[in-house]
Structure 1
Amino acid sequence: MVKLGLVFDLRNPQAWARPMAQVYASALDVAEEADRLGIGGLWFSEHHRFVDGYLPQPLTFAAAVAARTRQARLGTCVMQPALRIPAQLAEEAAVVDILSSGRLELGVGAGYRVPEFELFGVEGNQRYERTEAAITEIRRMWADGSVTPPPVQGSLPVWGGFYGPRGARLAGRLGMGLLYMSRARFADYSAALVAAGHPAESARVSGLMPIILADDPDRTLHEIAPHLAHQQDTYAFHEAEGTGKEPRPPVDPYELTRPGPDGAPASFQVLTPQDAAIYLRERSRDLPVEHLILWASIAAMPEHVVNRHVELVCHDLTRELGIAP
């Protein structure tokens, strides 16, 4: 059964800044309410040294959410094993799994930002090798009791959040799920999965879907356009940071909502639940999808927009997709 999820990054941009304790408390309230309304998953992202305070430690926040929720799966979308000692990550993940009574889904990525690797004293050009070694070691530690206590789940789900073919093949080789919705990358992933001796039917896909739900999409897009611009422009700035390259020019947030060349999906959309269901069915067609994940908020967008978005995801979109509560 496909589960709908929400991902949190806890950004606090200067233009709409609040005390960080308030930002975190509000996110906990949203997560708790979404869980009460039947959301399938609550996911937490990771970045370091972002100007807006992007969440740096997703498992720490997931532990707090575990204590406030009862049914939603809790996931990282994604965190970076290359920045951590495997034993530390194995222990932290196990603790969250215990606190949540076995609800953790560990989504990982290789990372890409120079300042993040510098902060942790890691060579960025070894990020894929470090990620693979870390996941292999973490699984071994869980299996043989090298770290204690063990996670509740006998086989804790691990996902590879990789956008390129190299990462997709890595996810397949290690028998992870692929945390990226792309038919081209799924082909790379599934081929590597089978080549490594994993059953073809063990393939599984999830992905972050770039949509916000609203009753009046045009009005809501106008409200959140500055927040969307901040999100995209800071991603571009921080991706270029430390590389010697210039970040791309500031985006036109309205341009992001238009289809790309050759009918490619728009980079971002505000949709009604009915249109979102059509979009999600098309994106997930013929793929073994487990989780469809939407942003909980775009760069501190207005609270009333967040709350209505969450309601529409949990009630209307769930109904449109025929997902059992």
Structure 2
Amino acid sequence: MDVGLLFDLRNPEGWKRPWADHYARTLEFCEEADRRGADGLWFTEHHLFEDGYLPQPLTFAAAAAARTRRVRIGTSVLLPALRKPAQLAEEAAIVDLISGGRLELGMGAGYRVPEYALMDGDFKSRFARTEEHIREVRRLWEEGGITPGPLQDPVPLWGGFYGPRGARIAGRLGMGLLHINHEKFEHYRDGLIEGGHDPASARVSDLLPIILADDPDEAWARVAPYLAHQLNSYQQASVEGTDRPKPPLIHAEELRNRTSNAPWGALKIFTPEQAAAEIKEMTEGLPVQHLIFWASIAGMPDDLVARNIELVSEDLPALLGS
């Protein structure tokens, strides 16, 4: 099992730094992860978030690829239904070339109405359009429909879909599944068979809601405000453009008090030893390839980010036997 780190580039008000500085510092963290032995750097996509959530993951992935030498460069996830297939095929190919063949292309359907409105996409048909665009990107690469093509043949593709339907789509397309779940794995495997793919080719990866620290309790007190922002922004954004009411806000004090009913389980702060024990249990019997960890929670303090990167990259792999 490889270990990697995901960056969403959030830069919220309250602890915001100048944007150019924020992007530069994140690239330094990417270099640090590469030097310390992390296996993957992953970038994600959302649009119109007030905290500047990364909107163009392949653009940033190209910069990270140019600043690193060995680490895999992935998206978890990019939204293909918001792009023309030829545009996506070209941009992804360039990242693969810049990186020397290190691209892992994770794709999903998204969940927000305003993002589809911004890009003139049809939200209601997003699953069908996502599947259609993935097939077309693959065809363009295989048939030389864009130039230059990627270095890898094939580029590893991942489906960031949740639920039985999404797992089956990923399987039908012959992609890896970006979800570690025994129940969903059966639907994924059925999809592989349905699509004419060898079920032995099944592979899974996932973004785990985990960061590492030497003293988890001390880290919880410091991370709580950042986690509250992260959870609130996801939940509030999920109802934008719909007639659903806004969910109540989560407060940092609730998250600090982990005996409350607050959804603090959305993040786990572990020592490497604690993380390894839980990961071994949750991945048993599954063909796991990549474990992806948050590099930062909503712009949390740099010292916590740096230590998290160090523990994920250097300490955890030995405990996992990878």
With normalisation by structure 2, the TM-score equals 0.96
Aligned partners of 2:208, 2:87: CA distance in 1, in Å?
30
How far does residue 159 in structure 1 lie from its aligned partner after superposition?
0.3
Match of 2:41 in 1: 42
How far does residue 257 in structure 1 lie from its aligned partner after superposition?
9.1
Aligned partners of 1:266, 1:115: CA distance in 2, in Å?
28
Structure 1 runs of 4+ with >3 Å offset:
252-261
Distance 1:256 1:137, change over 3 A: farther
The amino acid of 2:89's aligned partner reads A
The amino acid of 1:7's aligned partner reads L
| 8 Å contact kept, 2:39–2:72 | yes
Match of 1:83 in 2: 82
Query: Which secondary structure does the structure 2 equivalent of 1:106 belong to?
Result: strand
Aligned partners of 2:194, 2:136: CA distance in 1, in Å?
21
Match of 1:139 in 2: 138
| 8 Å contact kept, 2:225–2:251 | no
| 8 Å contact kept, 2:177–2:204 | yes
The amino acid of 2:171's aligned partner reads G
Match of 1:93 in 2: 92
Aligned residues: CA RMSD: 1.8
| 8 Å contact kept, 1:48–1:55 | yes
- How big is each residue's C-alpha offset from its partner over 1:114-152, in whole Å with a ceiling of 9 and x where there is no partner? 100000111100101110110100000000101010100
Where do residues 63-78 of structure 1 align in structure 2 (5 Å cutoff)?
63-78=62-77
Match of 1:104 in 2: 103
Where do residues 114-129 of structure 1 align in structure 2 (5 Å cutoff)?
114-129=113-128
| 8 Å contact kept, 1:256–1:267 | no
Aligned partners of 2:259, 2:89: CA distance in 1, in Å?
41
Match of 1:173 in 2: 172
Distance 1:180 1:256, change over 3 A: farther
How far does residue 259 in structure 1 lie from its aligned partner after superposition?
9.8
| 8 Å contact kept, 2:221–2:256 | no
Match of 1:319 in 2: 318
How far does residue 165 in structure 1 lie from its aligned partner after superposition?
1.4
How far does residue 252 in structure 1 lie from its aligned partner after superposition?
5.0
Q: Give unmatched runs, 5+ long, in structure 1.
A: none
With normalisation by structure 1, the TM-score equals 0.95
- How big is each residue's C-alpha offset from its partner over 1:274-316, in whole Å with a ceiling of 9 and x where there is no partner? 0000111112111100000000100000000000111111111
Aligned partners of 2:95, 2:87: CA distance in 1, in Å?
13
